[in-house]
Structure 1
Amino acid sequence: MKMLACKLQLQGALVVSKYSRTRELRDGNSVSQAVVTRENFKTKVPELTVTYVPSPTPSIQTKDLPITTSGKFGRFGGKFVPETLVSCLIQLEAQFRNALHDHVFQEELGLALRDYAGRETPLYEAERLSEYYKRKNNGKGPDIYLKREDLNHSGSHKMNNALAQAMLAKRMGCKSVVTATGSGQHGLATAAACAKLALECTVFMAAKDIERQYSNVRLIKLLGAQVEAVEGGFRDAASEAFRNWVGDLENRYHLSGSAVGPHPCPTMVREFQSVIGKETRMQALEKWGGKPDVLVASVGTGSNALGLFHEFINDTDVRLVGVEAGGLGLDTGKHASTLTTGEVGVYHGAITFLLQDQDGQVVHPYSIAAGMESPGVGPELSFLKESGRAEFFVANDQEAVDAYERLCKLEGIFPSLEAAHAMAILDKLVPTLRNGAKVVVNCSGRGDKDAAIVFNRGIFDKA
């Protein structure tokens, strides 16, 4: 069987697909074995049955979750990049670790999150949404709460990480920041954080995403950032941002908004987003004196899901439910359901699940939600899937649009289409839950940016 070339040149995208036999890969200062075949990793679409489903029992103990020095989550993650980048990533990790233990940095970040970003965000009881599902289930059902990340400054959870990393960039003496965005929410958060901290900012974005998310693009430009169009999708924009960073490692900072890429990038994003779960634990204790029974979040690459999940990973009585983009349906090939249908390979410098064709080439994803159009997910989510600690399901475009409309009419809240995917799975999830269970859904972003897309589908024609 032929060996697929490892595309790790500085001029090329940092994307590698599956391996047909054992291959040694350089992983920072260590060497790891990647044994990946199509036969080894058959996946099935998860099903939700209309009965009570208890919390899954992890097949890999969660005590094994803490990453190694090479950034591995089990066999996922790592640092599969050209040697010229290894030293930069090691320096970045050192700065990140120092900042985590620097009380001055932590105090400054805490104040910025409170006074600039507007944290903490509410844990909102969606009473009418809960009642809607109870009416459909003989008056019984869970109590649904929304973690209102849409109320965060710039309209999404992205500000948590963007602000922290922009502060880290300034701490490192960098003068400019480069990043990539899909829906524009990360680009908007990064542009705002850079404006606050007097840093230059360049945002790379797929041309098709610029067109469908132009309201965010205009705001990004108003904040003083440059927007560079890239042909292709988010994967191509991310690769272009990475190449731009490599062109001036001394003065530029690559601000990753997704929990993907070589170590320490996924860990940094997850760490700075984990404030979502930490607040949720505290707020749940205040509201009902316990923990949530189920946590639900949409999954593009994993930043908002990990932000909610990470605090509860060791609480095995709390179900973790991720929802991927089913697009036009899994049978059409037009979807972004990586954890449901993908296979293991190397994507943007780390071993993870990704979408591939029969020849091992990366498949272009599709979703009505631009922020969910990624062919690969974060390595930590891949570990949570393989270990059985988290469950992953699929919501298609129409289900997401229906959920968008439902939350508007029942709660007066405009969710992003990304967050609407998480809302959509409630149709299938709620009947499997006991009466009075506490469900927290991460409303990861606001949906005014998606209003035109929703209206174009004609769902309000009868209104």
Structure 2
Amino acid sequence: MAYLRDTPTSDGYFGDYGGAMLPPPLEPHFREIRQAWEQLSKSAGFLQELRYIRKHFQGRPTPVSHLKNLSERCGGAQIYAKREDLNHTGAHKLNHCMAEALLARHMGKTKVMAETGAGQHGVALATAAAYFGLECEIHMGEIDIVKEAPNVTRMKLLGAEVVPVGFGGRSLKEAVDSCFQSYISQADRALFCIGSVVGPHPFPRMVRDFQSVVGIEAREQFAEMTSGQLPDMVAACVGGGSNAMGIFAGFIEDEEVALYGVEPLGTSSSLGDHAATISFGVDGDIHGFRTLVLLTDEGEPAPVHTVASGLDYPGVGPEHAHLHKTGRVTYTTADDAEALAAFYALSRHEGIIPALESAHAIAFAMREAPKNPGKSILINLSGRGDKDIDYVTETYGFGDGA
């Protein structure tokens, strides 16, 4: 079976996970999105325009870098990074946002709207809206607005309306809730551009396919750098999981390549102190799809914590739940302290300031490299840390001694 071609099923299921559980008013709108995507994904004109945008606006392809200094310090495996921090707007998110905005234009929509956690998806969608001349509405939790102030400023400069979300945990899950509520009354003219491989069908597949450019590029670039070899291990951080599915897509059919998803363990394994959904979650429904979910004793989505706002979600993409169940991907964790240590280490020893989300994947590579001499580890450096530097330095200092 060609995995990427045949997964998910026509009704959006990755094994036991996925689907589209929608309130009746939204069913025709998601059907419209699915039909438009199925048509345009096979349209030479749509794909040609997207390729032009990626090359001449986004600056793709982004490079793969050998992290030579970090590899020497860790010992063992050689560490490489796919540099999505060099994608325009500073993260992988623009890969699907430009495509979703292009889809919105083809559908005759005049507005795009979305949730955001760390603000990278919000910035990317605001950028895409400006490029295509669309209105933009971004919902963001009040906690994240404070933590990620530079990205809030960027969204507003780009012309987006930023809607603060002040109920519940005031973070990513609530931002999704708020955006869905707002979308119901605007669905005739707006496209809800979901920011990860989550949500009702077709978004988990659609976002994966848009993000697969990361893995396709990385596979070719790594082979060119290493005389035709493939990496022994590929790793990426996982919240909703779009950056991970993007890089996994390039290697998922290569059984000899071990794939690793790195979840945020926060400050402890106690419920409410982390956002490690695959590690501690159970089967459940959230935001219109079935997946693994962190739940309270009352069966409600649990509060979550991580130093990285973009990973702050009590669910996970249904494809990740499926890949965990089949064993194709191994899911592990890195806690706040490990992520911060990796943030400082990459900054000091490679001249690259990573996003706190990406720092979880770096922490994995630093931990595993000494155990794997003679092997190679490719991580997805999914974003840069400009958005995090004020929060990190004001809260934790400058990492002296890293």
TM range (shorter): over 0.9
**CA, structure 1 residues 129+67, in 2 after alignment: closer, same or farther (shift >3 Å)?**
same
Return the match for 1:405 from 320, 332, 344: 344
Native 8 Å contact 2:344 2:399 kept in 1: no
Aligned to 1:296: 235
Return the match for 1:359 from 266, 284, 298: 298
Native 8 Å contact 1:336 1:372 kept in 2: yes
Aligned to 1:441: 379
Return the match for 2:259 from 308, 317, 320: 320
CA–CA separation in structure 2 for the residues paired with 1:270 and 1:111: 20
Q: TM-score, normalised to structure 1's length? A: 0.83
CA–CA separation in structure 2 for the residues paired with 1:243 and 1:174: 18
CA–CA separation in structure 2 for the residues paired with 1:416 and 1:65: 33
Aligned to 1:79: 20
Aligned to 1:95: 36
What SS does the aligned partner of 1:425 have?
helix
- Deviation per CA, 1:190-238, whole angstroms, max 9, x where unpaired? 0011001000001110011111101000010000111000122211111
Aligned to 2:388: 450
Aligned pair 1:342/2:277, yes or no?
A: no
Aligned-residue CA RMSD (Å): 1.6
**CA, structure 1 residues 254+430, in 2 after alignment: closer, same or farther (shift >3 Å)?**
same
Measured after TM superposition, the shift of residue 436 of structure 1 is 2.7
What SS does the aligned partner of 1:330 have?
coil
Measured after TM superposition, the shift of residue 439 of structure 1 is 1.2
Return the match for 1:329 from 246, 268, 274: 268
- Deviation per CA, 1:256-313, whole angstroms, max 9, x where unpaired? 1111111001111111001000001111221111211110100010000000102221
Tell me, which stretches of 5 or more residues in structure 1 are unaligned?
1-59, 135-140
CA–CA separation in structure 2 for the residues paired with 1:124 and 1:356: 39
Which range moves more in the overlay, 422-431 or 343-352? 422-431
Which range moves more in the overlay, 233-242 or 106-115? 233-242
Native 8 Å contact 1:183 1:371 kept in 2: yes
Aligned to 1:28: none
Moved over 6 A (4+): none
Aligned to 1:152: 87
Native 8 Å contact 2:88 2:94 kept in 1: yes
Measured after TM superposition, the shift of residue 240 of structure 1 is 1.4
Native 8 Å contact 2:126 2:159 kept in 1: yes
Structure exhibiting the larger radius of gyration computed from Cα positions: 1
Aligned pair 1:277/2:215, yes or no?
A: yes
**CA, structure 1 residues 330+218, in 2 after alignment: closer, same or farther (shift >3 Å)?**
same
What SS does the aligned partner of 1:336 have?
coil
Native 8 Å contact 1:181 1:234 kept in 2: yes
Measured after TM superposition, the shift of residue 133 of structure 1 is 1.1
Return the match for 2:127 from 192, 205, 217: 192
Amino acid paired to 1:173: G
Aligned pair 1:204/2:139, yes or no?
A: yes
- Deviation per CA, 1:31-64, whole angstroms, max 9, x where unpaired? xxxxxxxxxxxxxxxxxxxxxxxxxxxxx99699
Measured after TM superposition, the shift of residue 99 of structure 1 is 1.1
Measured after TM superposition, the shift of residue 459 of structure 1 is 4.2
Which residues in structure 2 correspond to 1:105-124 (within 5 Å)?
Answer: 105-124=46-65
CA–CA separation in structure 2 for the residues paired with 1:63 and 1:125: 28
Measured after TM superposition, the shift of residue 443 of structure 1 is 0.4
Return the match for 2:334 from 381, 395, 415: 395
CA–CA separation in structure 1 for the residues paired with 2:172 and 2:399: 32
CA–CA separation in structure 2 for the residues paired with 1:95 and 1:408: 43
Which residues in structure 2 correspond to 1:189-268 (within 5 Å)?
Answer: 189-231=124-166, 232-268=170-206
What SS does the aligned partner of 1:312 have?
coil
Aligned to 1:166: 101
Measured after TM superposition, the shift of residue 65 of structure 1 is 6.0
Q: TM-score, normalised to structure 2's length? A: 0.96
Native 8 Å contact 1:273 1:303 kept in 2: yes
CA–CA separation in structure 1 for the residues paired with 2:100 and 2:149: 25
**CA, structure 1 residues 462+178, in 2 after alignment: closer, same or farther (shift >3 Å)?**
closer
Measured after TM superposition, the shift of residue 359 of structure 1 is 2.1
Aligned length: 397
Amino acid paired to 1:286: E
Native 8 Å contact 1:65 1:74 kept in 2: no
Measured after TM superposition, the shift of residue 457 of structure 1 is 3.6
Native 8 Å contact 1:342 1:355 kept in 2: yes
CA–CA separation in structure 1 for the residues paired with 2:399 and 2:177: 40
| Larger helix fraction of residues | 2
What SS does the aligned partner of 2:96 have?
helix
Measured after TM superposition, the shift of residue 354 of structure 1 is 0.8
CA–CA separation in structure 2 for the residues paired with 1:303 and 1:310: 11
Percent of aligned positions with the same letter in both sequences? 40
Which range moves more in the overlay, 452-461 or 408-417? 452-461
Native 8 Å contact 1:65 1:73 kept in 2: no
Native 8 Å contact 1:178 1:244 kept in 2: no
CA–CA separation in structure 1 for the residues paired with 2:400 and 2:294: 38
CA–CA separation in structure 2 for the residues paired with 1:187 and 1:226: 10
CA–CA separation in structure 2 for the residues paired with 1:308 and 1:133: 23
Native 8 Å contact 2:91 2:382 kept in 1: yes
**CA, structure 1 residues 130+97, in 2 after alignment: closer, same or farther (shift >3 Å)?**
same
Native 8 Å contact 2:112 2:191 kept in 1: yes
CA–CA separation in structure 2 for the residues paired with 1:384 and 1:314: 12
What SS does the aligned partner of 1:311 have?
coil
- Deviation per CA, 1:88-147, whole angstroms, max 9, x where unpaired? 21211111111111111101000101111110000011111111111xxxxxx2111100
